[in-house]
Structure 1
Amino acid sequence: MANTILTHQMIAREAAKMLEEEAPFIANINKGRQEEFGKDVQGYQKGDTVKIKIPTAGRVYNGSVFAEGGGATDVVEESVNLTLDTQKHVALQFGAKEKALNLTDFKDRILRPQMQTLSSVVEADLIARGVLGTPNQVAMSLSGTNPSNALALGRAKLNQYLAPAGDRSVILSSAANVALSGEVSRMYNPTQTSSKAYLQGYVATAFGADLYEHQSVAVFNNGTAAGITVSGANQTGKTVVLSAATAGTLTQGTIFTIAGVNAVHPLTGQDLGVLQQFVVTATATVGTNTAVSIYPGLNATAPNKTTSALPA
């Protein structure tokens, strides 16, 4: 049935629904904190930033003697800020003719192309931000005989760091999707179709995650610094001093390891037998004795132990 007139509210509701359908990354990210923004707390507005507490990991002592006869370890609480610092929109202008259109016609002719453009830009921005802040990576061979091994290694890496097992999603480039197509089709069980299958780009479910093909997976380029070494032993915290034989940039998002500094179990602190991966959190020009911001921080003692040892 034709609408007498299209209102802004009708268009906004349709646009919001359409945006999620066109944007699998947006649809699958955790939005559990969105209700906190702008909320009144005892008469004060929280504003555009909310604080997220990082779960603490304590130190476990042996025996019945309190703290094995020593002093108890302080509980170290850490947090990160989640800030609404980016806004994007499309400027949609329509007159009396468009207002009189049937809602279905308006969606197909005018609204959907605008939402596809908006979702592509927003998704690309969010994916890039996620990549730049993630310290762990695994290798995927697009021309090898077993490309799905990367999905298995990624799942293992998530489990290794105690990431929640539910609602996991994988974003694949078109090249990765082609490489995986044969293996994933054999693993796919249509009786277990995800409820998110209506989303654009849904491929299958494998290795405990919903797989989506996406065109906004960007190529990351490392900086120009080379021959990088640690300047000064036993450094701790989220900054490490480095020197480069060939001075140059170390770009945000670069992942690196340090010899002898292994990853540990997040709760027990046991050495996992693999090098801890660190990500550069701010682009730096590395020459001699340059402080570089990293995540996670260097900490070889409980509580909140992150590495098996400190850099030599």
Structure 2
Amino acid sequence: MATNFSREEKIIFDEMIEGFEDSLVIAKEVTKFTPPGAQDMMRYGDKVWLPVPMIGSSYDGFDQTSNFDGLTETSVPVTVGFHKSSPKTLSSKNLRNEWALRQYADAAKQKLSSDINSALFDTAALGSVFIKRTTAPTGFDDVAVADTTFSRIGVTNNDRSLFLAASAYNSMASALAKPQTSGLTKTSTAYEKGYVGPISGFDTFKNDTAKTLAAATGGSTTVNGAGQYWEPKATSTGATGETENVDNRSQNLTISATTYANVKVGDAFTIAGVNSVNMITKQDTGQLQTFRVIGKPSAGVVTLWPPIISNGGSTIAGKELQNVTATPANGAAITWLNTTTAEQNPFFVRGAILLIPGSFAVDPEDGWNVMRATTSLGIGITYARQGNINDLSVKMRWDIDFGTANIQPQMTGNIMFGQA
């Protein structure tokens, strides 16, 4: 079947693609992962495993007899889990209106690009590095805390991004703009355009979507049971002998909470006696490790990341991937950090957050007209239309398919201001 479109529609399509790319603010700061071909992804169920960079270990002396071991090649799963569509039905009267078609394309562009930015925001905002600020945002000091925290745990200084809620960004610009008569270019730009720019090693951006995290209301909470640490491994073997990959980004933790039902995904917390370590040197940072709740698999249990890798099993993998100083004691106090409902401000290192373009098949021979294009970020956009002989109307839709992934939660985080 021919894929015939009017000249106006083709122009609108091209303009939509161009503008779509410009709207992907967060997407431009993350890493694009190019998945296998469409046929392979179909076989894999739109899920693939990616290797995680290794962390080495070293020992003193010439005699290393007891220190030889195999490689622990860990990996993480990434999926194409989002399909977004913007459909409309236009009457034969509406089809005469080029302005309406253009407005529809602009609206679809705005919403679909927002869907990608929103998914990436949520992925990054759940990062395990949580910065609790008790005051309103002021500028350098706030971002410097994130910089210091990243540096303490050995996160690279390169390609760091921070997405601030409009209120936080403007507050920082306000502080930077004073005094307006200083004559400094950065001060004048902050005053005239509300622009903040790079701060303390982070490229900062104003996020146009405000997303809040509600205050934690789990009440008094403790660790329920000793010996709850994670022993990293590349694979596991099932009862019937099959081998499968293991996701080492998270673990389950049994807790005792006054109101367990109120514990929610996103809540941030520390555990008494469990400090973070530098992921390369393994030195104690002197600061409590921060964790995030990412699931509630059963009563009295939360899934958290990062996992508690204290090398309690005295293994090579446990030593190389160690991220805390100690295994939590039975009854260790859990302190909730998100104590006041507030807007979230995610930050991350580029390579930690992935955007995964998806694919799907739309064949014009099945009875519709189709136009397709792929942005420089790899996101495929499909525009399809089909007429209805009953009333001469036309159904139209714009579609995208994509996934997001946080492959290293300790290289992503969240700042929240005004916390009690």
* TM-score with structure 1 setting the length: 0.78
Instruction: Report the residue type matching 1:233 in the other structure.
Output: A
Given that residues 75 and 303 in structure 1 are in contact (C-alpha distance below 8 angstroms), is that contact kept between their aligned partners in structure 2?
no
- Give the Cα–Cα distance (whole angstroms) in 2 for the partners of residues 92 and 148 of structure 1: 46
Count of matched residue positions in the alignment of Structure 1 and Structure 2: 287
State the SS of the aligned residue for 2:220: strand
Q: Structure 2 unaligned runs (5+)?
A: 231-250, 312-318, 330-420
1:88-107 → structure 2 map (5 Å cutoff): 88-92=84-88, 101=98
Map 1:1-312 → 2, pairs under 5 A: 5-7=7-9, 10-31=11-32, 33=33, 35-38=34-37, 48-66=46-64, 69-92=65-88, 101=98, 109-132=103-126, 134-140=127-133, 143=136, 146-185=138-177, 203-237=196-230, 238-283=251-296, 290-301=300-311, 302-312=319-329
Residues of 2 paired with 1:181 and 1:202: CA distance?
Answer: 6
Shift of 1:142: 5.3
> Secondary structure of the residue that 1:153 maps to in structure 2?
helix
In the alignment, the residues of structure 2 paired with residue 259 and residue 112 of structure 1 have an alpha-carbon distance, to the nearest angstrom, of 51
Greater relative contact order structure (CA < 8 Å, 6+ sep): 2
Where does the alignment leave 5 or more consecutive residues of structure 1 unmatched?
194-200
SS in 2 for 1:149: helix
In structure 1, how many angstroms separate the alpha carbons of the residues matched to 2:196 and 2:17? 23
Separation in structure 2 between the aligned mates of residue 16 and residue 158 of structure 1, nearest angstrom: 36
Query: Cα 1:100–1:93, aligned 2, differ >3 Å: closer, same or farther?
Result: same
Structure number having the greater strand percentage: 2
Following TM superposition, by how much is the alpha carbon of 1:223 offset from its aligned partner in structure 2, in angstroms? 4.7
2-side partners of 1:173 and 1:253: how far apart? 17
Aligned-residue identity in percent: 23
Cα RMSD (Å):
3.4
Distance 1:250 1:233 in 2: 21
1:22 & 1:44 partners in 2: Cα distance?
A: 29
The answer (yes or no) to whether the contact 1:251–1:284 under 8 Å persists in 2 is no
- Secondary structure at the aligned position of 1:154 is classed as helix
Q: Deviations over 1:54-76 (max 9, x none)?
A: 2222331110111xx42434432
Cα distance in 1 between the residues matched to 2:96 and 2:185: 45
Q: Calculate the TM-score normalised by the size of structure 2.
A: 0.59
Cα shift readout 1:18-63 (whole Å, capped 9, x = no counterpart) = 12322311222221x1x2243677x996552222212222331110
Distance change in 2, residues 1:131/1:18 (3 Å) = same
